[in-house]
Each structure stands twice: as C-alpha cells, then as structure tokens.
Amino acid sequence: MNRHEYAGVDTSVIVQQVGGDLRVRAHEDDVLLVDGERVHVEHLGAGQPYLVRAAGDARLIVPDTVPLVVQAVGGDAKITDVEAAVEVVRVGGDLSVRNAASARVGLVGGDARIKRVSGDVRVEGVGGDATIRDVDGSLWVSQVGADLYVRNVLGDCVVERTGADLVLSLEFAPDREYRFSAGADILCRVHPDSNVTFELPPQTTVQLDIPADMVETDEQHRIVLGDGSARVIISRADRLRLVGEDDDYMVDFSVQIEDELEARLSSLEEKLTQHLEGLDERIQATTVRLSSQAERMAERAQREAMRAAEQLRRSIGRWEDKPKRGKAKRGRFAVGMMEGRPTPPPPPREPVTEQERLMILKMVQEGKITIEEAEKLLSALES
C-alpha cells in the first residue's frame, strides 16, 4: 500500500486502470491524494493530466473542479462530489456516481446508481439494474439488462431498451423529448394536472389506476391526459400502468431507504478520510484496507436492503393486481388483442386480507418494523 500526494492540481485526472475497487471523492482543495495497492501516478507536465494505475484497490481524493476520466475498473467504482465532468468507460462490477456536473458512462457489468447530476447523463450499457435520479439536464440510456428506475429528469429523457421493467416518475413538459422501450412492464407515475399524450404499440396492455375523468383514449393507441401537450412515445412494453402520485408509495419508500443509507455511508467515509490525515504510512495502509472493507460491507447491506424493498414492492404489486382482475374494468382498457396467448389459470385464494397488508406496509413506512420483519409477518399470515 503506497500513497501519493500532489498540490496545485488544476488539470484532469485520468484513472487508466484499477484491478480491484475504486473510490473517488472530491474536495475543495487543489490537492490530489492517491492510496492503493501497487499504485502508480504519472504527471506528464504542466497543463497535462495526472495518470493513475493500480493493480488492486485504489482510493482517490481529487479537487472538485477538475474533470475525472475512469477508463477501466475490474471491481466496483464509486465517485462522489465531483463538480466537473465525469466519464466512466468500463466498470466490471457496480457503479455509483453522486453529485457530478455531468456523467458519461460506457459499460457497467453490474448495477448502476446515478443521482444528483447538474448536467446531462449518457449511459451506453448496464448489465444489471439501474437507478437514475435528479438530473437537471437530459438523459439518454442505450440499454439496461434488468430493471431501470428514472426519477426527476428535467431535460429530454430517452431509454432505448430495458431488459425488464421500467419505472418512471417525471414531470412531462411539452418542449421535451420522451421515448421509452421496455422488455416487460412500464410503471409511470403521473400528476393529476399532467398534460401528456402516451403513444403506444397495438400489442401493449394498459392499466389505468388513476381517475377516469383524467383520461381520454382514442383508436390510435393513444392515452391523453389534460391537453396532451407533452408527447411520450413508447415503442415497446408488455403493459403500461399509470398510477397517481400517492398510489405507488413503495417507490418513495425505497428511495427513502436508499437516501438514509447513503447519508450514513457518506458520514462514514468522511470520518475515515479525516482519520487518514497525519498517520504514518504503515498505519495509514492498514486503515485504508479496513475502511475499504467497512465500505464494502456497508454497501452490501445497502444493496440487500434495496433488494428487499424492491421484492416487497413487487409482491405488493402482484397482490394489488389480483382483486382488480375480478372487478369491472372502470378506468382500464386494453390496446390491441393479446392473440395466441393461453388463458392463465385462476390465481389461488389469498389468505391475507387487504387491510392486513396495508397495515403492515404502514408500519414499515412509519419505522415501527423493518422490511425483514414485514416479510416474516407476511409469510406467517400467508401460512
């Protein structure tokens, strides 16, 4: 474990290759600090970038005003508080980018989490799930292998392809471009005052869990809310489900859990960074190694909590669909006929009442029980 320190840094930092995990945090000073396993740092001269390579894990503290380029990371990568442009070419594991001026992402083998970006975000490909939130610019996503959650994008929003579900929570504006394609379902939250037109392919089934007086439909496979001034083009989806702001509360609950865990992780990282200052090299190396292990354990706990929340949300979504299929189709219609598909068998009798499930969810939201306790309670009731 070795450490490099450079003062007066005002040019870009390029991380050429990291064999293990990468952690990058920006600060207000013009000092570049690099810790890691067999780290090599090269400065090509005045006005030239700083080049960083590491055989194992690496931790960087960079000036917040210099651009950051990450070319290749074998493990996970986490980048925080860079107020300049961030470019990530390839990450073998998970990627997390938080508080950046802009983000350009190439290929991510695992999951991706991008949030609070003041400019544009471009994503070429994510192998697992992806969460993209609070983007002041435009968003373009080429492909996500599993689920994608998009929230609060102020500019254009284009998703070329998701392998599974797509969840949208956007304020649709008439002067923006919105295009989406999903391998499974699209869940979209809409405000009661929304003015948007959804254009769908004929084979897409539509479920409207919003008041019927908000919606108009026509024979051209379109759904019109308000004056329909904003235009949303959906090229592919098995089902489009529109819900009100208060209906899909599990989405907000998952975001709340993620924000709380993220705040705790940020506090932990800040304390560990402060402890690194003033330590000799041998003690510092041990501290860096232990702090990296602690971060990985905390992030693993965060992913498990988010995964449990998502599983709970999906189970509630499946439960919510069951009673509606037996009721009159008020506020629902199907665009096109699902020809050639066999009639599914009738769902088994649900032993847990609606009131019991809603009570459990309310207890989770109020913090009276944990997600794990809620799942155990649901399992006990169902058995």
Report the CATH number at residue 150: 2.160.20
Which residue has 């392919």 as its token pair? 201
Residue 77 lies in a domain: yes
Residue 174 lies in a domain: yes
* pLDDT of 57: 94
Residue 74 lies in a domain: yes
Residue 201 has pLDDT above 50, yes or no: yes
Pairing assessment for the beta strands 215-217 and 185-189 based on DSSP bridges: unpaired
Q: How many domains does the chain have?
A: 2
Q: How confident is the model at residue 177 (pLDDT cuts 50, 70, 90)?
A: very high
The last residue of one of the domains, among 155, 181, 207, is 181
Mean pLDDT of 61-74: 95
The last residue of one of the domains, among 131, 161, 181, is 181
* pLDDT of 2: 77
| Among 130-134, 169-173, 205-209, 324-328, the least confident range | 324-328
Residue 255 lies in a domain: no
Tokens of 98: 């938080």
The last residue of one of the domains, among 149, 181, 213, is 181
Q: How far apart are CA 284 and CA 278, in angstroms?
A: 9
Residue 326 lies in a domain: no
Residue 68 lies in a domain: yes
Q: How far apart are CA 87 and CA 95, in angstroms?
A: 12
Q: How confident is the model at residue 250 (pLDDT cuts 50, 70, 90)?
A: very low
- The string of pLDDT tens digits covering residues 202-236 is 899 989 887 766 666 666 688 998 899 999 999 99
- The string of pLDDT tens digits covering residues 114-164 is 999 999 999 999 999 999 999 999 999 999 999 999 999 999 999 999 999
* Residue 91, helix vs strand vs coil: strand
- Give the domain extent around 73: 2-181
| Among 24-33, 69-78, 287-296, 329-338, the least confident range | 329-338
DSSP string, 319-347: HHHHHHHTS--TT-EESS--TTPPPPPPP
> Higher-confidence residue: 210 or 170?
170
Tokens of 26: 């920006």
Residue 285 lies in a domain: no
Residue 332 lies in a domain: no
| Among 239-253, 300-314, 340-354, the least confident range | 340-354
- Could you tell me which residues come within 8 angstroms of residue 196 by beta carbon, excluding any fewer than 6 positions away? 172, 190, 224, 225, 226, 228, 229, 230, 231, 232
Name the residue type at position 311.
Answer: Q
User: What is the pLDDT of the chain when averaged over all its residues?
Assistant: 79
Q: How confident is the model at residue 309 (pLDDT cuts 50, 70, 90)?
A: low
